[in-house]
Amino acid sequence: MPLVGVGLLYRHGYFRQTLSRDGWQQEHYPVLDPHELPLAPLEEPDGGPAQVALALPGGRELRARIWLAQVGRVPLLLLDSDVEENDLGERGVTDRLYGGGSEHRLLQEMLLGIGGVRAVRTYCRLTGHPEPEVFHTNEGHAGFLGLERIAELCAAGLDFDSALEAVRAGTVFTTHTPVPAGIDRFDRELVARHFGPGAELPRIDVDRILRLGMETYPGGEPNLFNMAVMGLRLAQRANGVSLLHGEVSREMFSGLWPGFDADEVPITSVTNGVHAPTWVAPEVFRLGARQIGVQRAEDALTVGGSERWDSVAEIPDEDIWELRRTLREQLVTEVRERLRASWRQRGAGTAELGWIDDVLDPDVLTIGFARRVPSYKRLTLMLRDRDRLMELLLHPERPVQIVVAGKAHPADDGGKRLVQELVRFADDPRVRHRIVFLPDYGMAMAQKLYPGCDIWLNNPLRPLEACGTSGMKAALNGCLNLSVLDGWWDEWFDPDFGWAIPTADGWGTDPDRRDAIEADALYDLLEQRVTPRFYERGQSGLPDRWIEMVRQTLSRLGPKVLAGRMVREYVERLYAPAAEAHRALDPDAARDLAEWKARVRGAWSGVSVDHVETSAATATAELGSTLGLRVRVRLGDLAPEDVEVQAVSGRVDSEDRITDAAAVPLKPVSGPDTEGRWVYEGPLALDRTGPFGYTVRVLPVHPLLASCAELGLVAVPSQELVEAAGLLMR
Ligand SMILES: *Cc1c(COP(=O)(O)O)cnc(C)c1O
């Protein structure tokens, strides 16, 4: 799959985390020198650095150089504004991830989106790499890339609306979080100032740009420019990152497709995956390679395919258990080193730190919990009942030990308080040998942490975890999951792979009560299910039921969580259809489609359902029989080829709404009459038991639409008509 990645080169990265003596998070921003990283500057033929430039208000300019990282076969372009040509302010645009104000963030996103497209064009020009056909934007952050491509097409002579159609066809938008803080919204005025004459994209009317980001739905803020909303409007295809998150996103953004039920909102889902060659510990890989050979083991990690993973079933219990102990022991060593370094940093002398030699035990059930610390992830849920936690940690026969890590956002004092609460608990001499907080969570720590744990714990507020990926990385090393049914775990949970923490996420539960219920459920599971299974011994003297869960996790869950599976899904379901749509939309087709949409939008108020009748009395309708449906619709200035008239039927719920609806197109049989009305007919099969209902609707159709909801237009019968025709039957 030919891909080019684009990102920003943050001079300070995110930040490094240490702790003060009393457990308060301290941030450090060491300077990264690109010359010491595996990066090469992209160069022009004359040897000068390749750069992109953006016009800023007031005649200023933002320039950035392009660094190239070769990630396997994929080139990754990183934009770096720290160049001499920039004024001091502009040099700082790519200084760090998060932390500047709103304008700083806007400039980062303009550089990423607009500068990103320019960097890709430069890269293609300099290397002969083919021009990309599809652009994929992760969340709204890179959303301006659509505007830059519209501007390119306008410069080539297309009008805005036609260019918008051509760009939409070749754009995929992925929404990554239902948490509002994760979605960038800018002041409208700020955006207006950065576009138009005297700033960026002077050819595009600023008003058109502003309208793309407007929250035109109930509850929307008229003065804010929403990057996710713009992203969705600039992309013909969109997805969330797990099955559940797809559902949540359809609900969340349904206001952009008025008239459609959430389940018809055109946002699908592709569940995330993780890069197994990075995350499978060498010891785990070696055991697999011993079974099936190095080449097939490598293929199993990248290509996937369950037949390659089946061989795990043949690995003897003793070998799996020995592997688990080896990994746990390595983690124990790693934890002691990191803890010692952290305590030194917190001001402790060597003589005070003898106790660290006894921190954690390579034979004790080890639980990992490491992630960012936004409030929805509930870092401190485990502290809810400290006595119960202490009993679990200090149990005489079946103790557990816990390794915790995570960075709070530098501006989030609430998050830092949670870190401090955990650190203070872990500092208590009564439990400090069984629970540790490791500062500066990052990939290097994560690579040791996931394999060394027996249980990976995740307790977010459902359904705010869009996917979650650390549990996948843990599973790839035979670590079992203990998690709230959120994100990917909601989709792939199986009692063979771990445990589901029951949630109280119904409406009306107050947050405090909810935490109490869910924390209790967590303690219960640990006491009654998890620890007994880990410590019980079967005939062979090994915990054979636990080992069987490890085996099931590796062989059946492993192949699902792979990045290879995810990429294949993106290609088949989103990239390839988008590439095809993009090719179909040459300038003439783009103009035709834009004109058609404008005509349909303009004429839609003239479309209505006028009359509905069935050929059989509803009272005699029986399961298995077929009704004849006859419908009269007004199409106004539109023609039958512009629309589809559908019979929609399904089960009816207690609120008279049709659930699990199936739509069948009806056929025009006559028309138009003198009043512009058309008659449509078709069969309606009564193929379901229980309360059943149907209705009729008219939708715009065009071969180049990706979904019948794309325009957000639909005409349905009036309430009077529904009642008169008895459209909902019981
Ligand atoms: C995988 C990973 C994450 C993300 O984990 P989630 O489960 O998605 O929260 C965060 N940080 C590091 C260092 C990781 O390796």
Q: State pLDDT tens for residues 47-92.
A: 999 999 999 999 999 999 999 999 999 999 999 999 999 999 999 9
Q: Give the atom of ligand 1 at the shortest distance from the alpha carbon of 470.
A: 7
**Does residue 729 surpass a pLDDT of 60?**
no
**Does residue 549 surpass a pLDDT of 50?**
yes
Q: Residue 622 has what pLDDT?
A: 65
Q: Give the distance (Å) from ligand 1 centre to CA of residue 489.
A: 15
Average pLDDT over residues 529-533: 98
Q: Give the distance (Å) from ligand 1 centre to CA of residue 470.
A: 5
Q: Give the atom of ligand 1 at the shortest distance from the alpha carbon of 447.
A: 15
Indicate the pLDDT class of residue 727, thresholds 50, 70 and 90.
Answer: low
Q: What is the mean pLDDT of the chain?
A: 94
- Pocket, ligand 1, Cβ cutoff 6 A: 371, 441-443, 446, 468-470, 473
Here the tokens at position 444 are: 């290097």
**Does residue 539 surpass a pLDDT of 50?**
yes
pLDDT in tens, 421-480: 999 999 999 999 999 999 999 999 999 999 999 999 999 999 999 999 999 999 999 999
Q: Give the distance (Å) from ligand 1 centre to CA of residue 370.
A: 8
Q: Give the distance (Å) from ligand 1 centre to CA of residue 443.
A: 8
Q: Give the distance (Å) from ligand 1 centre to CA of residue 373.
A: 11
Here the tokens at position 569 are: 């899904």
Here the tokens at position 607 are: 């479309």
Q: Give the atom of ligand 1 at the shortest distance from the alpha carbon of 441.
A: 13
Cα(150)–Cα(201) distance, rounded to whole angstroms? Answer: 9
Is the Cβ–Cβ distance between 203 and 157 less than 8 Å? no
Alpha carbon of 203 to those of 144, 351, 713: distances in Å?
Answer: 15, 69, 30
Residue keyed to tokens 């995929």:
172
Q: Give the atom of ligand 1 at the shortest distance from the alpha carbon of 371.
A: 9
Indicate the pLDDT class of residue 259, thresholds 50, 70 and 90.
Answer: confident
pLDDT in tens, 286-332: 999 999 999 999 999 988 877 888 888 899 999 999 999 999 999 99
Ligand 1, atom 1, lies closest to the CA of: 470
Ligand 1, atom 6, lies closest to the CA of: 468
**Does residue 637 surpass a pLDDT of 50?**
yes
Q: Residue 491 has what pLDDT?
A: 98
Average pLDDT over residues 160-172: 98
Q: Give the distance (Å) from ligand 1 centre to CA of residue 371.
A: 6
Q: Residue 357 has what pLDDT?
A: 98
**Does residue 517 surpass a pLDDT of 80?**
yes
Average pLDDT over residues 674-686: 91
Cα(317)–Cα(432) distance, rounded to whole angstroms? Answer: 32
Name every residue whose Cβ is closer than 8 Å to that of residue 479 and which is 6 or more positions away in sequence.
368, 450, 451, 453, 454, 455, 456, 553
Ligand 1, atom 10, lies closest to the CA of: 371
**Does residue 508 surpass a pLDDT of 80?**
no
Q: Give the distance (Å) from ligand 1 centre to CA of residue 463.
A: 17
Other C-beta atoms closer than 10 Å to the C-beta of 681 total 16
Average pLDDT over residues 165-178: 97
Here the tokens at position 401 are: 């030990």
pLDDT in tens, 90-105: 999 999 987 778 999 9
Alpha carbon of 238 to those of 109, 170, 171, 491, 668: distances in Å?
Answer: 20, 11, 9, 20, 33
Q: Give the distance (Å) from ligand 1 centre to CA of residue 690.
A: 46
Which of 129-138, 304-313, 395-404, 663-672 shows the lowest mean pLDDT across its residues?
Answer: 304-313
Indicate the pLDDT class of residue 724, thresholds 50, 70 and 90.
Answer: confident
pLDDT > 70 fraction of the chain, expressed in percent and rounded: 98
Q: Give the atom of ligand 1 at the shortest distance from the alpha carbon of 458.
A: 7
Element housing 125 (H / E): helix 116-127
HSE (side-chain half, CA atoms, 13 Å) at 8: 28
Give me the sign of the Cα torsion angle 417, 418, 419, 424. positive
Looking at beta carbons, which pairs linking 247-255 to residues 24 or more positions away fall under 8 Å? 248/178, 248/463, 248/466, 249/175, 249/178, 252/178, 253/175, 253/228, 253/229, 255/215, 255/216, 255/217, 255/218, 255/219, 255/220
Q: Give the atom of ligand 1 at the shortest distance from the alpha carbon of 279.
A: 15
Q: Give the atom of ligand 1 at the shortest distance from the alpha carbon of 274.
A: 1
> Which residue among 179, 271, 449, 470 has the greatest number of ligand 1 atoms within 8 angstroms of its CB, and so is best to mutate?
470
DSSP one-letter code for 507: T
Ligand 1, atom 15, lies closest to the CA of: 443
Q: Residue 507 has what pLDDT?
A: 59
**Does residue 726 surpass a pLDDT of 70?**
no
Is the Cβ–Cβ distance between 246 and 269 less than 8 Å? yes
Q: Give the distance (Å) from ligand 1 centre to CA of residue 343.
A: 25
> Which residue among 271, 371, 486 has the greatest number of ligand 1 atoms within 8 angstroms of its CB, and so is best to mutate?
371
pLDDT > 90 fraction of the chain, expressed in percent and rounded: 87
Q: Give the distance (Å) from ligand 1 centre to CA of residue 349.
A: 33
Phi, psi angles (nearest 5°) of residue 679 = -105, 130
pLDDT in tens, 597-627: 999 999 999 999 999 988 765 545 566 778 8
Beta bridge partners of 437: 404
